[in-house]
Amino acid sequence: MSTVTKALGLLEYFSKSRPEIGLSNFTQLTNFDKGTVFRYLTALRDQGFLDQNPLTKAYRLGPAFIRLAAVREITVPLVSLVAPIVDRLAEDTHELVHAALPQMKGMSTLHYLDGGHGGIRVGFNGAGLLPFHATSSGIAMLAFGHPDLFKNVISGEFEKFTDQTSVQANDLTQRIEYVRSSGFAAANQWFEADVCSVALPFFDGKGIALGTISIATPASRMSDDARTSLVHTLVHACTALTSTLGGQVPAYVSSIWAHL
């Protein structure tokens, strides 16, 4: 493991619930030597990737991300192409619609919108990572994404979030194969009690899934009919998005989607 990898790994510890991390705290979290962590942190800070709370001296994500995210979006304008599609879906379905991309440790938000007006809603943290094994987005991504992604993820450990969460590699592999043959992933309270979701992938120019769009609802609203209807809506959206992005839905997927 290169020093660069280890240093960059520090950035992954930040989240909504852990926005600032001090030196000692970091050494515990990482089990690296304190001097080592300190050198990593100062290198990251000097480049603007971290920033220090002047009062507590604790580190937090730095201003470099503002600019680099802007350059990234100009280079690959994913968010600006995906957002209108998600917004339209949310408006049409009145549910929580979420577009996501894979990262190492889970699916990360591209854009989301809750189209629900009143009543029961699904809570959601747009800056978090959704686990691959316990969400419809994650399973859809593993089913239709790059084989290396599947290999990496399946060899890891899996947390049990609810009674319904599968944590055995065998079960997950089987589930993923089923998803591949059915053309979409449907989750029934795998991650959170009372939340169901469906997810479909969108593809790059080589027919490899780039990311997913999913719709989450309270379990009470996810009847078979409702699910079927959402899947049909998502087929249209993902087909359109794939084409907008200059991608290609693989022939076998295209055929499954046409006969749903």
Residues in contact with DNA by the rule CB under 7 A: 1-4, 6, 22-25, 32-36, 38-42, 52, 57-58
Within 67-106, the residues that bind its own copies by CB under 8 A are 67-76, 78-79, 101, 103-104
Q: How far apart are CA 87 and CA 113, in angstroms?
A: 6
Q: Least CB distance from residue 230 to its own copies, whole Å?
A: 25
Q: How far apart are CA 85 and CA 92, in angstroms?
A: 11
Q: Least CB distance from residue 43 to its own copies, whole Å?
A: 4
Check residue 16 for interaction with its own copies (CB under 8 A).
yes
Q: Least CB distance from residue 2 to its own copies, whole Å?
A: 5
Query: Which range binds its own copies by CB under 8 A, 50-58, 130-138, 195-203, 249-257?
Result: 50-58
Q: How far apart are CA 185 and CA 176, in angstroms?
A: 8
Which bin fits 50, alpha (ψ -120 to 50), beta or left (φ > 0)? beta
Helix (H/G/I), strand (E/B), else coil: 21: strand
Query: Which range binds its own copies by CB under 8 A, 8-16, 173-181, 192-200, 219-227?
Result: 8-16
| Cα within 13 Å of Cα(118), Cβ side | 0
Ordered alpha helix ranges (H), the chain: 3-9, 23-30, 34-46, 64-75, 78-93, 136-144, 147-154, 169-182, 224-244, 251-258
Residues that bind its own copies (CB under 8 A): 2-5, 7-9, 11, 14-16, 19-20, 39-40, 43-44, 46-49, 51, 54-55, 60-76, 78-79, 101, 103-104, 108-110, 126-127, 129, 204-206
